Amino acid sequence: MNLPEVLEKAALNYGKKVAVVSANRCLSYQELDEYSNKIADYFIELGISKGDRIAILLPNSLEYTVLFFGIIKAGGIAVPLDIKYKDYELTSLLEHCQPTMLISDTAYLEPIRPLLHRFSFIKHVMDIRGDSQWQVHGYQQIIGSCSPQPVALALEPEDTAVIAYTSGPAFHPHGVVLTQCNLVTEARISTAGFQQTDKDISVLFALPLHHVFGLVGILLTAIYCGSKLIIVPGLSLSSLLETIATEKVTVFMGVPYVYTLFINMAQNDGIASNLSSVRLWGSSGAPLSEVVASGFKKYFGKDLINFYGLSEASCHITCPPLNGMEGTDSVGKALPGWEIKIIDDDGHELPAHCNGEILVRGIPIMKGYYHNTEDTTRVLKNGWLHTGDIGRMDNDGYLFITGRKKDMIIRKGQNIYLSDIEYLLRKHPKVADVAVVGTLDATRGEELKAIVVLEKDATATEQEMKQFCLEHIASYKVPRHIIIMDSLPRTASGAVDKNSLQDLMTFTSQ
């Protein structure tokens, strides 16, 4: 089964039942199917061919959902992009995947207008609000004029559906290639793991659809099982809790940072909304601390279900028992369809309770990294995905995440590669050398600190360096502190001694 068939089946089974709600607007399953047919019909008339990449630079919305399925139905490959990205990041990613079309909104197109002339491969730009200057119809024009009938296009299980740029440094892109089969299988696995049905009501809040957690774990899972999905725009906790209470939401998924905000709100203002309808509070995207898990249980009276996944696996791989379990360290067992093993540095499988690299195997594993055979070969070996995460399993098969091999941090649920920040700061004309390290942060999970060595006779301030970062990369990647030093500590081999820097940064932040 492919994604269009999943939606067609849902439309057949649930018809006029509400599929997606956002900003007081809703679409039934039948409307979602027909509207996405109209988008596909228009794209094919426009000349979009099977395999063309179509980049989406939009926030979560009803339109995003329709456009995503329309792209897939037309045989295109959806390339979701983060609306927080700035010029350097967008240039890197667009040049890597070379989309035929860019779909966005005026608010996000205006800042990048000066860049667009660089990308000769972009033949069409769509402003969904219908700005005629782009010479492509807007969303409402298409919905009002195109055919709702299914397009006659055959899609195979191994056809690429999505390229997800959510893993690896933005300046050395790792585009995770996910097939129709990957996504449909993972939606089925998620449905079973969450025990989700057409009776459930789930929420998409603070989890962007450019990330597999939002796209697959929430949206596609809801479509697969016929749930009602409510998209809550913005980042207002009060609006979210009011929605949960009013709509009697049953499933909520978030990153630990969001749950930290929940706890802070409960401590400061109490909980005015009735949240008793929620049967499943799920957490992923970053390590869940004992402080957050116990704090949530104290104020909200429910366990957080902490599960593990990654983009290269289409979404999540494990899930603990939904009725809760003692302790919060484990992310649960492998879901049906997944296998996990732990290996040492020599590739030998380790027994229970021994730390090593986590390897996973299953149908939803990516086809590979887009146009990157070298890194694909490095992480995919004999059907096993080398995750770069460190962990152990107990005798019962429960997985415990204990660290990572990758040079990255997770800040408020966002993966940030330290090399991205170092790469950018080296472009500053006053910077001679730079190193970026991660430190623990009670609220955000982890935090970035940069150490900069200036060129001879140059002067600069921390604010000047931060402003340079803000102008060129997403704001969530900007280091919280940028410290100017005379030199960087180095090992005997000449490499930057990041262990010494981390110790120094931890000490100076206390």
In the chain, the percentage of residues whose pLDDT exceeds 70 is 96
Three-state secondary structure call for residue 463: helix
Is 0.95 topped by the overall pTM? no
DSSP assignment of 436-461: EEEEEETTTEEEEEEEEEEPTT----
pLDDT in the model for residue 227: 98
Rounded Cα gap, residues 13 and 377, in angstroms: 42
The one-letter code for the residue type at 267 is: Q
Q: Are the CB atoms for 397 and 421 separated by under 8 Å?
A: no
Residue-wise pLDDT for 103-119, tens only, equals 999 999 999 989 999 99
Average pLDDT over residues 252-275: 93
Average of per-residue pLDDT across 288-307? 92
Distances (CA, A) of 176 to 13, 63, 309: 32, 24, 14
Number of Cα atoms under 13 Å in the Cβ half of residue 242? 7
pLDDT number for residue 168: 61
Kindly report the number of other CB atoms within 10 A of residue 378's CB atom: 12
DSSP letter for 311, please.
G
The better pLDDT of the pair 506, 38 is held by 38
Banded pLDDT at 325 (limits 50, 70, 90):
low
- Whether the Cβ atoms of residue 365 and residue 182 lie closer than 8 Å to each other: yes
Distance CA 183, CA 193 (A): 15
| 146-150: average pLDDT | 96
Averaged over 83-99, what is the pLDDT?
94
**What is the predicted pLDDT for the residue at 316?**
93
Tell me what pLDDT residue 506 has: 57
Only one residue has tokens 């409402």, namely 140
26: buried, middle or exposed (CB in 10 Å: 19+, 13-18, 0-12)?
middle
Domains in the chain (CATH in brackets) are 3-180 (3.40.50.980), 414-508 (3.30.300.30)
- For residue 167, the model assigns a pLDDT of 56
Distance, in Å, from the CA atom of 236 to the CA atom of 415, rounded to the nearest integer, reads 22
Within 13 Å, how many C-alpha atoms sit on residue 289's CB side? 18
- 293 CB neighbour count, 10 Å cutoff: 19
Question: What tens digit of pLDDT does each residue of 26-35 get?
Answer: 999 999 999 9
* Average of per-residue pLDDT across 54-78: 98
Q: Which two tokens stand for residue 14?
A: 């649930």
Please give the Cα distance from 69 to 155 (Å, whole number): 13
d(CA 208, CA 25): 19
Residue pLDDT, tens place only, 383-410: 999 999 999 999 999 999 998 887 888 8
pLDDT in tens, 443-494: 888 999 999 999 999 999 999 999 999 999 999 999 999 999 998 887 766 6
Rounded Cα distance, 164 and 326, in Å: 35
Percentage of the chain lying above the pLDDT 90 cut? 79
Tell me the two tokens of residue 396. Answer: 């019962």
In sequence order, which residues have a C-beta less than 8 Å from that of residue 164 and are 6 or more positions away?
Answer: 80, 175, 176, 178, 210, 211, 212, 215, 311
CA distance 288 to 292: 7
DSSP string, 387-414: EEEEEEE-TT--EEEEEESSSEEEETTE
CA distances from 280 to 212, 261, 277 (A): 19, 18, 9
Q: Name the nearest CA neighbour of 220 among 498, 5, 395, 387.
A: 5
Average pLDDT value over all residues in the chain: 92
Checking if the pLDDT of 166 tops 80, the result is: no
pLDDT, greater one: 327 or 442 = 442
Residue 503 amino acid letter = D
Nearest to 360 by CA among 377, 381, 374, 345: 381
The reported pLDDT for the residue numbered 510 is 45
Quick one: 432 exposed, middle or buried, by C-beta within 10 A (0-12, 13-18, 19+)? middle
pLDDT tens digits along 185-241: 999 999 999 999 999 999 999 999 999 999 999 999 999 999 999 999 988 899 999
Average the pLDDT over 153-162 and give the result: 96
Distance CA 418, CA 422 (A): 6
Are 331 and 399 contacting, i.e. CB atoms less than 8 angstroms apart?
A: yes
Residue given tokens 């949960």 in the structure block: 244
Residue 120: CB partners within 8 Å, gap ≥ 6? none
pLDDT of residue 33: 98
CA dist 104 and 91 (Å) reads 15
